[in-house]
Structure 1
Amino acid sequence: MMNQYKNLIVEMINSKVVVLKVNRPQARNALDTNLIMELSEAVAKVNAMEEIAVVILTGVEKVFIAGVDIKDLIGISVSQAFQIASKMKALRNEIIHSSKLFIAAINGYCLGGGLELALVCDIRIAQTNAKFGLPEINLGIIPGGGGVSLLSEIVGSAMARKMIFTGEIFSAHKAMEVKIISDIFEHVLEEGVLLAQSLSLKSQTAIAAAKRVMNSGVLQGNEVYLEKELYEFSFLFDYPDSVEGMGAFLEKRKPSFKN
């Protein structure tokens, strides 16, 4: 694959393993419209390459993905919010329905939309200093890319409610305790590459079949839930709390919600 992207580095480890490395360090690897489009294009290309077996998703420097870029969200309309959430949904579906295995090698902050992308990866491993969370509630909005439904599926309703309602940021050890990740490593990308190389030697037909079975159970139970989440996220942009929350974030002050 040619690395023709502005905010994404594509590295071929060998003929079967590829690394997609988010590269927006100036914005803590936050997802803007262009980056979402680049990721979608890269994932679609990988999915079309028969020889690729495993894809590793990670970020440059000390950040995985620190959510959606707030500058892209503040002051937008309901329809614009819906369009952004729909693009995230399309990217999420490219990963879920892929026959390839996706490994999230979480090397730092994994927040909001970043955590939502990690949650649809087949295997999630993290660096010792990684941080996790869905802090959207502090911005006057909710996760709109599957975070509410997918987190509930993985950690259970009680824990998901606490994490989403408080917007807490938690450690890799907490993430492992509640089963968001499977392993913690000091050098997560190196370990991810070793794991990917091992998995690439397995029967890809069998792996794809197992992935379809596991994902079908989750998706069949959550499809209505996921659609509801998308709409609820979008409609919140019609309320002043969303403007106040995101404005306060950009101005580095505490929000004053009018409710």
Structure 2
Amino acid sequence: MTWETVDLTHDEAVATLTVDRPEALNSLNVETLEAIEEALEEAERESVRALVVTGAGEKAFVAGADISYMAELGSQEAQEYAELGHGVMDAIEAFPAPAVAAINGYAFGGGLELAMACDLRVAEEGALVGQPEIDLGVVPGFGGTQRLPELVGDEYARRLIYTGERIDAETAHEHGLVGEVVEDAKSRASELAGELASQPAFALRAAKEAINRSAGGDREGGLAFERRAFAGLAGSHDQREGMAAFLEDREPEFE
């Protein structure tokens, strides 16, 4: 299968899924999210033993969800968008082989959520990551409120989500958000995926499932609440103002 905004390639037992919208900094619109779902299904059918997830170009891994699409969403549409995003992140988390994120640039909002759904994260020197949804009058909508605390701890996750702060790769590494900071994230992620692909596949799959089952507490309840909160903020003054200000390159005036 082929898609306009996603590329899936194979190198022996390793598949590489590339979000390919460099003109939009690889932002996640509906078409792209649906293409990622289909690409994951194809990779699973091919029985790959490891997966690399990255972004096209040199500026961004995935700069976030598509704000030009989100700006005018109503609550029901936002709920559907959040459900689609959650479906993609859950599919990566449940993928029957390890997934390695090659963070080759900006990873904000939905982009960081995409990286956090992977098993391992390799960040490039100069990469910036964060959950800046608060600046748009919304909350993370693709799993960030649940996965970020699991990786960096409750206190630091709250700081990042409440303030929208963007942090560099080195700081992300210090807090456990990424496992390595390297000169070439794609090359290192491919190398790491190759190492994982050489491990016993069934044991690795069982290890991943066991770790996933033990992660967090009431994850499903938290994710369900996040979807409702994200959808409920659609159409609010702060959501409309935050996204309009972003698109118009100005400071927002929140209530």
Q: TM-score, normalised by structure 1?
A: 0.96
User: 50, 53, 56: which is aligned to 2:52?
Assistant: 56
1:174 aligned residue? 171
1:231 aligned residue? 228
Q: Deviations over 1:80-139 (max 9, x none)?
A: 000000001111111112211100010000010010011110010111111100000000
2:180 aligned residue? 183
Q: Distance in 1 between matches of 2:23 and 2:186?
A: 21
Tell me by how many angstroms 1:75 deviates: 1.5
Q: Which runs of 5+ in 1 are unaligned?
A: none
1:111 aligned residue? 108
Q: Which ranges of 4 or more aligned residues in structure 1 deviate by more than 4 Å?
A: none
Q: Which runs of 5+ in 2 are unaligned?
A: none
Alignment of 1:87-236 (within 5 A): 87-218=84-215, 220-236=217-233
Q: Distance in 1 between matches of 2:51 and 2:211?
A: 18
- Structure 2 SS opposite 1:238: coil
Q: Deviations over 1:179-198 (max 9, x none)?
A: 01110110111111111111
Identity of aligned residues (%): 34
Q: Deviations over 1:32-60 (max 9, x none)?
A: 1100010011011112222x101100011
User: 23, 31, 34: which is aligned to 2:28?
Assistant: 31
Q: Distance in 1 between matches of 2:138 and 2:217?
A: 26
Tell me by how many angstroms 1:200 deviates: 0.7
The amino acid across from 2:54 in the alignment is T
Q: Is the 8 A contact 2:115 2:121 kept in 1?
A: yes
- Structure 2 SS opposite 1:165: helix
Tell me by how many angstroms 1:220 deviates: 5.0
Q: Distance in 2 between matches of 1:205 and 1:221?
A: 27
The amino acid across from 1:148 in the alignment is T
Q: Distance in 1 between matches of 2:94 and 2:7?
A: 23
Q: Distance in 2 between matches of 1:209 and 1:257?
A: 47
The amino acid across from 1:11 in the alignment is T
Q: Is the 8 A contact 2:72 2:235 kept in 1?
A: no
- Structure 1 SS opposite 2:214: helix
Does residue 1:80 correspond to 2:73, yes or no? no
Q: Deviations over 1:164-217 (max 9, x none)?
A: 111011100010011011101101111111111111111010000110111111
CA-atom RMSD in angstroms: 1.0
Q: Distance in 1 between matches of 2:56 and 2:124?
A: 13
Q: Is the 8 A contact 2:150 2:216 kept in 1?
A: no
- Structure 1 SS opposite 2:141: coil
Tell me by how many angstroms 1:219 deviates: 5.5
Does residue 1:8 correspond to 2:6, yes or no? yes
- Structure 2 SS opposite 1:104: strand
2:38 aligned residue? 41
Q: Distance in 1 between matches of 2:212 and 2:240?
A: 36
- Structure 1 SS opposite 2:218: helix
User: 11, 17, 27: which is aligned to 1:20?
Assistant: 17
